[in-house]
A and B are shown apart, each in its own frame.
Chain A
């Protein structure tokens, strides 16, 4: 994938006339050279602005351009003129050789959030009639929507931008503003370190890592994306599973039954062992569903055998009524007790929940404390028996209380909380099971009570019935039994159905879990490792070339987690190396990423833009190394653009025999047609 800047032009219209400045870039190394404060940064930054990438510098709506293109412009004689209107036009080329010209208003006239585009070389060959279209930028949707400029640019580049995680748990496309700092180094802040101007306001998690992974074509990025995909599929399986289980358990609850061995969350194996079993309360005994149905059928058969007349069963009915009333009383008492149990157990369950939440909070803080204790600035607070560097007083172990008793170390205390948590979670699981069983018992008892009441009613009615009529109690009993059998039968059917739903889900779950585990594996793939080694090698080679001396260049490595330069496992911070070596490191890192694209297919645009790389009075020898290295881009179809204030003959001298395209400005970059 490749993006080349072909040319860029800034036009400022003032009362005095029209000022313009233009640079043409070739393959390989190109220069914009002018004295300081003559507008070369303006010309370079305006190209960034034309592509709507100034958001890499911050969320502000103001264009990051000098007053010369926004408010007042100086002519060749030093006189100031108010700016009426200004714009920038930039022409780009992609790998296929397609051209795209972008024109964006800086001030006056059209809304600067609107970018006009032409599908052709509208800047270098304005005579052609090209298809034109407007895109918007610096607004929501600029990266995702069809009409967004960055959507168009990604398309032009052939980029498939991955979705990446944000701080708040969502995902967004890996914005171009996040990739830009690894391609384009802006002069004022950009040389402070690698990707020193990362736009954190975009809320992307670990933006530097994601940007390096993307530009270096590392599979870690897609791996994270694939993992998220699998995670969402696992989420679907879980939702389907829960829906099936909940549908089933709701029916079981309706009939006052309990179930066992039915996992709430997806299992990897089906059917479970022991198999799912449903029990219902019969005569205050939890009976397996099959047995209950069998038992009820036998009762029904018994009751259906003959239909006696009332007078034939009067005595028996009176006795049965007495027994039924007794049973009613017993069940009512049992139900009251069961209700009390439930209330008590629920209280206990809630108390356990509160306790677990408190432990988890405490545990999280300890985890934070352990991490914080590794930070230099507060380390002293975590070391036993340490002293305050200001007042030399003993630093306490805790903020309140005495020092008479030793306090556990942070790690010991966290381990204690871990243990406590484990205990309480086990207790909660237990309490939940007990609570559920009690609640089901209440439902079952209620059902039995209703049954007993109906029986009493039927028996009473039978006793006051016409003696020649068939016994009403027996008819009612038959109806009740038949209804109950039907209810329980339907649950038996559901149990069979559940098997056919959960079986395939368990299998899918097993596969997805295995895949997820594979993708979450520690370490990096061998392909990524090869790439990182190449990247590392390029950086070391360049650091040697540029005269990096703060630490031995051969000891510098790329961290396999943050992808930042490190030495003996410690990230190389800007305070550890000299200011000029810091600049050399930025050169080497960004150029290394560019060079990586020569050996491996990566989505890197094959372009670096350095605004005034000669920071911190860096030596000419270093610059010579950089220019010559950047000039090698020509042989690989890549591009490097450098803005410098070095005198023209100095640039020539430093370049040696290396080819470069030069845009030399002896005075103001922005000038009137007849001036300069």
Chain B
């Protein structure tokens, strides 16, 4: 036993080198992907003005085909609002703040609006069809524009 312990001590008694390996991260937590999506979401609302709630509802809708379908069904009046339970996602708040920070959107009178550079980005996203194609497709499937009253009836769940 004593020998084994000594062997272990010897094995450990040498310099260690810890190297920090970069980790992988889910794509939707990457600011460079998420922030342009915010611009798309704002453009989907009436007059290109979105309340924070609208942003969360649309964000939830673009996260999966299933949720987009639920929202579409609710907006078409086929299912009651209780069926479409919107998840609020803290990452969206960070992304919106960043979008504002780099001047793509502005926060004014409790609305998110597009700035000139936001609109320019939107234009680029419009011409580059294959860029964010899935997100655009999901949004296009929704009735446009998304109104505030439609959003008000939805129950929002999650952290805020």
Chain A residues with a Cβ under 8 A of chain B: 167, 200, 205, 361-366, 368-369, 371-373, 375, 377-378, 380-382, 388-391, 393, 395-401, 405-410, 412-413, 416-417
Contacts and interface: CB of A to CB of B under 8 A. Distances in A.
A369 B26 contact: no
Nearest to B100: A390
A366 B22 contact: no
A405 B23 contact: yes
Interface of B: 20-36, 90-91, 94-95, 98, 100-104, 117-118, 120-121, 124, 126, 128-129, 131-132, 134
B98 A395 contact: yes
B91 to A, nearest CB: 4
Contacts of A397: 25, 30-31
B20 A205 contact: no
A400 B31 contact: no
A362 B134 CA distance: 11
Contact of A416 (B24, B31, B118, B124): B24
B90 A369 contact: no
A595 B113 CA distance: 46
B34 A399 contact: yes
Contact of B32 (A364, A378, A405, A408): A378
A375 B121 contact: yes
A406 B101 CA distance: 23
A269 to B, nearest CB: 34
A301 to B, nearest CB: 61
Nearest to A370: B32
Contacts of A407: 22-25
Nearest to A406: B22
Contacts of A378: 32, 35-36, 102, 104, 121
B33 A365 contact: yes
13 contacts: A364-B134, A369-B27, A375-B124, A380-B102, A390-B102, A395-B98, A398-B31, A399-B95, A401-B29, A406-B21, A407-B22, A407-B23, A413-B25
Question: Residue among B30, B34, B91, B117 with the most chain A CB within 10 A?
Answer: B30
B123 to A, nearest CB: 11
Nearest to B93: A399
Contacts of A417: 24
A400 B29 contact: yes
A377 B117 contact: yes
B29 A372 contact: no
Contacts of A363: 27
A499 to B, nearest CB: 42
Contacts of B31: 381-382, 395-399
B32 A390 contact: no
Contacts of A401: 25, 29
| 4 smallest beta-carbon distances between A and B, as pairs | A365-B27, A369-B33, A399-B91, A382-B32
Given A399-B95, A406-B22, A391 B101 contact: yes
A413 B121 CA distance: 24
Contact of A413 (B24, B94, B98, B100): B24
Nearest to A412: B22
B69 to A, nearest CB: 16
A398 B31 CA distance: 6
B35 A389 contact: no
A222 B69 CA distance: 39
A562 to B, nearest CB: 11
A399 B30 CA distance: 6
A377 B91 contact: no
Contact of A408 (B24, B29, B36): B24
Contacts of B36: 372, 375, 378
A194 B29 CA distance: 38
Given A364-B134, A377-B121, A382-B32, A388 B101 contact: yes
A397 B90 CA distance: 16
Contact of B23 (A369, A391, A408): A408
A389 B101 contact: yes
Given A399-B30, A412-B22, 9 more contacts: A200-B126, A366-B27, A366-B30, A368-B33, A372-B33, A378-B104, A381-B98, A390-B102, A406-B21
Given A381-B102, A388-B102, A390-B102, A400 B33 contact: no
Contacts of B21: 406
A377 B32 contact: no
A372 B25 contact: no
A403 to B, nearest CB: 12
A195 B101 CA distance: 34
A167 B128 contact: no
Nearest to A409: B22
Contacts of A380: 102
Nearest to B26: A362
Nearest to B104: A377
Contact of A410 (B32, B90, B101, B128): B32
